[in-house]
Amino acid sequence: MDIRPAATLVLVRDSANGPEVLMLQRTWEAIFMPGFYVFPGGAVDESDTQCRDHITGRDDETVSQIMSLDEGGADFMIAALRECFEEAGILLADGHTGDDYEAERQALNRGEDNFFAFCARHNLSLPLDRLGYLAHWVTPPGPPRRFDTRFFVAAMPEGQSARPDDIETIDHVWLTPQQALADHESGARLMGPPTARTLRVLSDFGSAEEVLAYAHANPPEPEPTKAWPGIRKGKPVLVEPGAPAFDELRKLDPEGKGDAQAEIVPGAAVEVGYGIHRLTAPNAGMMTGPGTNTYVLGPQAPFTVIDPGPDDPAHLEQILAFTGGQIEQVLVTHTHRDHSPGAMALKTKTGARLAGMAPPDDASQDHDFRPDYSPEHGEVVSTTAGELKAVHTPGHASNHLCYLLAGEQMLFSGDHIMQGSTVVINPPDGDMRAYLKSLALLLNEDIRYIAPGHGFLMKDCHRVVDYLITHRLAREHKVVKALADNGPGTLSELVAHAYEEVPKALHPLAQRSLLAHLLKLEQDGRARQDEDQCWSLISA
C-alpha cells in the first residue's frame, strides 16, 4: 500500500481559559476515521508544488531543511493551508481582503479549480514563516489508507470564522487542549492517536504565542520511512516501519548492519538493553503470540527474573543455565497461567524470593503462586541492573503490575501492553474502566521502550498508549451505537453489530470484550442490564 504525503494545520487562538484549538468533525460516511474530531488537513496535491511561486517568509530549501527533507517541504505547508481553506473556510494568506471566497472554495472542493489559480486570481501570498513545524506521524500498517503526515501550527487569522464544508467535515468546535482530551477520554468525541498526542503536547502551554515559539524552536525528529535490515530464518530481510520487529531492530542494530534477529525464537537469549536479556517460552499460540517473554535482569549475579512463564521444564532449564542458578528474586506481572507458574519451580531450585500480587479468586489464575512479597504501587525494587519501579496497572488482571527500569527507561509491561495486538479484558477480573485508567497512568511516566510479555520491543510508549486508548474508545462508541440501534439485546444479539468486522467463529471471544465494554458503560451510568440479561442504553 502506498503511503501518501499529507499535512495538517493546528489553528490556535487565545481565550480566557488559555489557548484553544480548532477541531473539525469528519463525516460519518468517511472511509478514514468516520466521525472523528481532527485538525484540518489532507493529502498533498501535485498542484501544491505550483504554489511555490506564491510563498513568502521561507523558501522551499529552508523549509525542507527544517523538516529533514531533500526538497518539497514547502509543498506540505502549502497543502496544510489549502486543506484548511477547503475544509474549514479559513484562509491564512497575505492579500486576503476579507472578501467572501465561498463559491471558489466550493469549486476547489469539487475539483473544478486549483489552489494555484485561486491564489493567482486574488494576488495572494502564502506566509510559510507563520507556520511552526509541530509533529511527524506515519500511519502504521492496517488502516485502509496510510499517510506520511506533517503537523503544523499557526495562529488563527483575525476577522475569520470556521465554516465546515459539509462534505468532509460536518461540525467544528474550539476547545482548550485540556477540554479536548477530557472529551476524548470520556468518549464524548472520538480522536485519533496523533490528535490526542498533539493535544497532550499543546496542553503544556499558557498562550498561543508560547505554542508558536515552541514549534518554531523545536522541530520534531523525522519519523523513519525506510525499511530496516534484519535476519529471519537465517536469511536477510527488510522490515517496514510499523512492522512488529522494526523498533527492536533499530535499537539493537542502530547502524543497520542487518545482524539483528527479525523474529522471536523460543529459547534464544536476546540482549535488549544493557544487562537485560529476553528468553521466550515455547508456548506460541493465538493468545500468546510467539510465546511468553521472560526477562533476566543483571549484568552479573545475582539476577532478577521477570515473568518466568509457564511451568515448562525446558524453558526453566534455559533460565537456570543462563543465570547459573544465581537468581535473587523472581517478579511476576500477574498470575495468568502463561506468566507465573514457573516461579515456584525457580524458588525451589534457587531459593529466590517471589514478588508480585496474590492471585484473585478467578478460574484463569495460577493459584499455586504464593508471593513472599507484594510491592506497593510506586515502590522501588533494587536489582543489579538498576532500580525497578512497580506500577499497579489493573484491567487485564486485577493484580497486574508493570515494572519500570529507570536507567533504561524500559517498561516491562506483562500483558498490560502487548506487541502487535490489543489485550483481552475478560470480566469479572478483567475491568475495562480500570484498564483505561491504568493506560492513562503510564502517560505520566518517562518511558522510552516497552518490553512486553509477548512480542518485540516497542518504542515511544506515549504513542502506543494513545493508540490503545483510542482503539478502546472507538470500540466503545460502536457498542453505544449498537445499543442505540439494536437494543435492548443480549450479548449474543449485540455482538454481531458491535463487532461486525470480526468473523463469526470469534464472536464467543468477542462477547467477553463486549461484556467488558458494557460493564464500563454501566459503571459510567450509560447502560443497564435487566433481569432477562438484556442490555439497553440509558438516555442522557
- Model confidence over 16-64: pLDDT tens digits? 999 999 999 999 887 778 889 999 999 999 889 999 999 999 999 999 9
Through-space distance between the first and last CA atoms of the chain, rounded to whole angstroms: 42
What span, in angstroms and rounded, lies between the C-alpha atoms of 58 and 128?
Answer: 6
Q: Tell me the mean pLDDT in the region 205-233.
A: 93
The answer to whether residue 464 scores a pLDDT higher than 60 is yes
The string of DSSP letters for 274-324 reads TTEEEEE-S--BTTTBT--EEEEE-SSSSEEEE---S--HHHHHHHHHHHT
DSSP 48-100: GGGGGGGEESS-HHHHHHHTT-SS-HHHHHHHHHHHHHHHH-----BT--S--
**346-386 pLDDT tens trace:** 999 999 999 999 999 988 899 999 999 999 999 999 999 99
493 versus 141: which is more confidently predicted?
493
Question: Residue 238 — pLDDT band, cuts 50, 70, 90?
Answer: very high
Question: Following CA atoms 279, 366, 414, 327 in sequence, which dihedral angle do they give, to the nearest 10 degrees?
Answer: -50
pLDDT of residue 23: 97
**pLDDT in the model for residue 33:** 80
Q: Which contiguous run of DSSP H or E holds residue 229? A: strand 228-232
- Residues 6+ away with beta carbon under 8 Å from 126: 51, 54, 55, 56, 77, 78, 81, 92, 93, 94, 119
Task: Using alpha carbons, select from 114, 124, 60, 122 the residue that is nearest to residue 86.
Answer: 114
Q: SS3 for 18?
A: coil
pLDDT of amino acid 121: 93
pLDDT at 142: 63
Task: Kindly report the number of other CB atoms within 10 A of residue 1's CB atom.
Answer: 10
Question: Between 187 and 379, whose confidence is greater?
Answer: 379
Q: What is the pLDDT of residue 363?
A: 86
Say what the pLDDT of residue 29 is.
83
pLDDT the model gives residue 161 = 92
pLDDT at 462 over 70: yes
**DSSP tag of 203:** T
pLDDT value at position 50?
92
Specify the pLDDT at position 143.
Answer: 65
Phi, psi (rounded to 5 degrees) for 113: -145, 170
Planar angle of CA 47, 53, 57, nearest 5 degrees? 115
Work out the pLDDT band at 141, boundaries 50, 70, 90. Answer: low
- Tally the residues of the chain: 540
Q: Give the residue from 253, 15, 243 showing the smallest Cα distance to 140.
A: 243
Half-sphere exposure of 351 (CA within 13 A, CB side): 2
How many Å apart are CA 333 and CA 404, to the nearest integer?
11
Query: At a CB cut-off of 8 Å and minimum separation 6, what does 78 contact?
Result: 48, 49, 51, 52, 55, 115, 126, 128
Where residue 199 falls (left for φ over 0; alpha for ψ -120 to 50; beta otherwise) is alpha
Judge contact between 151 and 135, C-beta under 8 A.
yes
Which residue reads 499497579 in cell numbers? 392
Measured distance CA(312)–CA(291) in Å, rounded: 12
Strand partners, 270: 278
**pLDDT of the residue at 193:** 87
281 burial (CB, 10 Å; 0-12 / 13-18 / 19+) is buried
What is the C-alpha to C-alpha distance for residues 291 and 264, in angstroms, rounded to an integer? 8
Cell numbers standing for residue 74:
514547502
- Tell me, what DSSP letter sits at residue 220? P
Which residues lie across from 277 on neighbouring strands? Answer: 271, 296
Tell me the sheet residues that pair with 5: 148
Chain-wide mean pLDDT for the chain? Answer: 93
- Can you give the pLDDT at residue 420? 76
Whole-number percent of the chain with pLDDT over 70:
99
**pLDDT score for 1:** 52
How much is the pLDDT for 168? 87
CA distances from 190 to 10, 286, 493 (A): 17, 29, 25
Look at residues 4, 454, 411 and name the one whose alpha carbon lies nearest to residue 244. Answer: 454
DSSP label of 128:
G
Of the candidates 512, 35, 488, the residue with the CA atom closest to the CA atom of residue 499: 512
Question: Please, what is the Cα angle at 391 between 388 and 394, to 5 degrees?
Answer: 145
Query: What pLDDT, in 10s, does the model give residues 73-126?
Result: 999 999 999 999 999 999 999 988 777 789 999 999 898 999 999 999 999 999
Enumerate domains of the chain plus CATH numbers.
3-217 (3.90.79.10), 267-459 (3.60.15.10), 470-537 (1.10.10.10)
Question: Which of the four pLDDT bands, split at 50, 70 and 90, describes residue 540?
Answer: low
pLDDT tens-digit map of 275-334: 999 999 999 998 899 999 999 999 999 999 999 999 999 999 999 999 999 999 999 999
Give dist(CA 54, CA 366) in Å, integer: 68
Please compute the mean of the pLDDT values over residues 164-189 and round it to a whole number.
92
403-452 confidence digits (pLDDT tens): 999 999 999 999 999 987 789 899 999 999 999 999 999 999 999 999 99
Structure confidence at residue 88 (pLDDT): 95
Query: Residues of the chain with pLDDT > 90: what percent?
Result: 81
